[in-house]
Amino acid sequence: MSKKLIKISLFAMLSTVLITLCMCGKKKESAAEVKKLVIPDSLRYIKQVFDSVEVKKDIIFSEVINYKDSLEKLHLDVYTPFEDNEINRPVILWVHGGGFSGGTKTQSYITTLAITFARKGYVSVSTDYRLRKDPGEDMSATINDAVNDVMAALEWIRKNSFKYGINKDYIIVGGGSAGGILSSNLCYKDSSDTVTWDKSGLIAFINLWGSPNIDRMDKTVDRNDPPTIFAHGIADSIVPYSNCLWLSCLLDQQNVEYEIFAIEGAGHTPVAHMNDIEAKISEFLCCILTRNSI
């Protein structure tokens, strides 16, 4: 059921212009006023082009009332390529896992991905969101609060796009485990019970072993939802691989572009395969970025 995108080798990228190589998949129309992304060379966004990354930590982006009826300050970290002259960059918002009861924006694989993609030329943002001691007591409210918090982080990115050299028309969301579940709700739904979400500029979704089952996301996928790459271990016993297949079927029915990187024999959070996961994500995003920049 997966749709395989055209695989792009490094040798091909070096021999011709990246834009002509990445005209793959279904084209998603952009608004006329979207500022076109500048891709200055054939390696940026696909390979490491910066040795160092600058990190701005613990930036408060929202104050909310948590499940204890207490005021809670939410923080995010911003990762940018050190001494990068480009000021028109795509951004990836990384959302951690932890079963909605634990985890932080500094979760190890989230930090690794944030740094890795900042070295490729992206701006990476890692965000916290509201957690609960026992999320299962009211999973609907748990996910609703978390999604609203991640949407607030997206709003912060838009408001601070100039300061951090971000092109707010090129936003990518990446979530792992619980972060993938809540990000699925954000990317494929348009609102909560109380808030209509602004998904403008959202061009892609990276789902890392976090596809929800039918109880954690109703069927609201439509043809305007973002292209999605799934990375999921086939032997995952916490978030079953079948969830990934179920969700990809919904995308298929709506003619939404997707790719599945199924990892044979891997369980939940397959960090041993992170190099391959990172490479697959890079190729997928390369196609999306270059296609939208034409």
Asked whether residue 13 is domain-assigned, the answer is: no
Task: For residue 202, give its domain range.
Answer: 39-293
Structure tokens at 132: 């609960």
Residue with tokens 């990276």: 206
Q: For residue 259, what are the β-bridge partners?
A: 229
Asked whether residue 217 is domain-assigned, the answer is: yes
CA distance 88 to 52: 19
Asked whether residue 212 is domain-assigned, the answer is: yes
What's the number of domains the chain is made of?
1
CA distance 11 to 53: 27
- Strands 71-81, 123-127: pairing is antiparallel
CA distance 196 to 189: 9
Q: One-letter amino acid identity for 174?
A: G
User: What is the number of other CB atoms lying within 10 angstroms of the CB of residue 282?
Assistant: 18
What was the pLDDT predicted at 19?
36
Backbone angles phi, psi at 187, to 5 degrees: -75, -30
Asked whether residue 105 is domain-assigned, the answer is: yes
Contact 172, 206 (CB under 8 A): yes
* Closest alpha carbon to 189 in 237, 143, 125: 143
Asked whether residue 6 is domain-assigned, the answer is: no
- Angle of helix 178-188 relative to helix 139-159, nearest 10 degrees, comes to 70
Asked whether residue 199 is domain-assigned, the answer is: yes
Residue with tokens 């002259």: 85
User: What is the number of other CB atoms lying within 10 angstroms of the CB of residue 237?
Assistant: 9
Contact 24, 287 (CB under 8 A): yes
User: Hey, which bits of the chain come out as E strands?
Assistant: 53-65, 71-81, 89-95, 123-127, 166-176, 202-208, 228-233, 258-263
In a 13 Å sphere around the CA of 81, the CA atoms on its Cβ side amount to 26
Asked whether residue 30 is domain-assigned, the answer is: no
Structure tokens at 45: 């966004």
Region for 31 from its dihedrals, namely left if φ exceeds 0, alpha if ψ lies in -120 to 50, beta otherwise? beta
Asked whether residue 282 is domain-assigned, the answer is: yes
Instruction: For residue 265, give the CATH number of its domain.
Output: 3.40.50.1820
User: Hey, which bits of 183-252 come out as E strands?
Assistant: 202-208, 228-233
Query: Does the model's pTM come out above 0.85?
Result: yes
How would you write the pLDDT of the chain (294 residues) with one tens digit per residue? 444 333 333 333 333 333 333 333 333 333 334 456 655 556 899 999 999 999 999 999 999 999 999 999 999 999 999 999 998 999 999 999 999 999 999 999 999 999 999 999 999 999 999 999 999 999 999 999 999 999 999 999 999 999 999 999 999 999 999 999 999 999 998 887 777 889 999 999 999 999 999 889 877 899 999 999 999 999 999 999 999 999 999 999 999 999 999 999 999 999 999 999 999 999 999 999 988 776
